Each structure stands twice: as structure tokens, then as C-alpha cells.
């Protein structure tokens, strides 16, 4: 089983502005998982931003000979997930995707695909991420993606009636 990257280490690296080092850690962490099998490559990553790509190969195609929509969604969803991990607020221990949506507005059959994802809302309990997926061959946008991440906090102990923000010292 592959280990998930340490969330605290991801946050510490991103806070320091070492975007290449964080991208390297993410690349190393995905071996044996879906992003590794699809050969995603992460180029830059930091608090609120991540970029990545993949070279189009036979494994990315639908039976109809087009780049499979699931390959595009997987790239965008993975980007936003790693971006969320690198952007967790103090006290948060993880996230779960609450919603995702993709608008397909183009196609690609050869070359490579890139993705840039940006944090557009950073709340105490949710983050919203937007991603744009482009054909690197044509430069055209082929999909727009948006997701909402529900932020997870440690459970309260018995009898503790404080909110996650109060437990972590955040102000509303």
C-alpha cells in the first residue's frame, strides 16, 4: 500500500514557497494509485495553486478514440485534492470532496494535457477550487472544472461543546 503524503509536511512546504519541492513530494506520493497509473506529473504546487500535466497515451482514451472524459476529470480532481491538502487551515486534518462539476468544451487526441487549479474560496469548513484543462498541443481549453472540498477536523472529545474553530484558536 502506498502512503499518503503527510498533510503537515505538505502545508509546511507550501507555506515556505518551495513549489517545486512540493510538486516533487506529490509526484513521489502517487506511485501505485490512480494518478500514478495515469502518469500525472505535477509541475508547481503551493498554497492555493497547483499545475500538472500528462502525456496522452492509449490508456487515456475512450473506446471511441477520444481522450476519455474520466482522464480529464481525474487530472482536475487530483490537482484540486492535492491543492486542498497544501492549503488546509490550521487544525484541519483532511478533506472530502462534496461536489464536482466538469464542462467539456473541446477535445484532444494526441500530445499532452495540462491543468492549472486555483483556490477561489478558502473558508473554515469548505474550499472551492477551479481548474482549467488545456491541450498543450493546440493551447485550447478543453474543460473547465469546479469542486467543493469539505474540510475535516478532529472529532471533539466527550463533553467538549466547542466548535472546530474554537479548538484550533481560529476567529470567525
Q: Can you give the residue ranges of every domain in the chain?
A: 7-155+162-168
* Superfamily of 7-155+162-168 according to CATH: Hotdog Thioesterase (3.10.129.10)
The pLDDT tens digits of the residues spanning 52-76 come to 999 999 999 999 888 999 999 999 9
DSSP 103-161: EE-----SSEEEEEEEEEEE-SSEEEEEEEEEETTT--EEEEEEEEEEEE-PPPPTT--
Q: Which of 105, 57, 115, 110 is nearest to 81 (CA)?
A: 115
Q: Is 4 helix (H, G, I), strand (E, B) or coil?
A: coil
The pLDDT tens digits of the residues spanning 82-118 come to 999 999 999 999 999 999 999 999 999 899 999 999 9
pTM of the predicted protein model: 0.81
Amino acid at each position: 500500500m502506498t502512503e499518503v503524503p503527510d498533510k503537515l509536511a505538505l502545508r509546511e512546504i507550501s507555506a515556505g514557497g518551495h513549489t517545486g519541492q512540493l510538486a516533487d513530494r506529490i509526484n513521489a506520493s502517487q506511485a501505485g494509485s490512480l494518478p500514478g497509473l495515469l502518469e500525472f506529473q505535477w509541475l508547481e504546487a503551493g498554497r492555493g495553486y497547483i499545475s500538472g500535466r500528462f502525456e496522452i497515451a492509449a490508456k487515456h482514451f475512450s473506446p471511441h478514440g477520444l481522450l476519455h472524459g474520466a482522464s480529464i476529470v481525474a487530472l482536475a480532481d487530483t490537482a484540486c485534492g492535492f491543492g486542498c491538502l497544501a492549503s488546509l487551515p490550521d487544525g484541519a486534518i483532511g478533506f472530502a470532496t462534496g461536489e464536482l462539476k466538469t464542462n467539456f468544451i473541446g477535445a484532444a487526441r494526441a500530445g499532452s494535457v495540462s491543468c492549472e487549479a486555483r483556490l477561489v474560496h478558502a473558508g473554515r469548513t469548505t474550499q472551492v477550487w477551479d481548474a482549467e484543462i488545456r491541450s498543450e498541443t493546440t493551447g485550447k481549453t478543453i474543460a473547465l472544472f469546479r469542486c467543493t472540498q469539505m474540510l475535516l477536523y478532529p472529532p471533539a472529545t466527550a463533553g467538549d461543546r466547542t466548535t472546530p474553530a474554537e479548538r484550533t484558536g481560529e476567529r470567525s
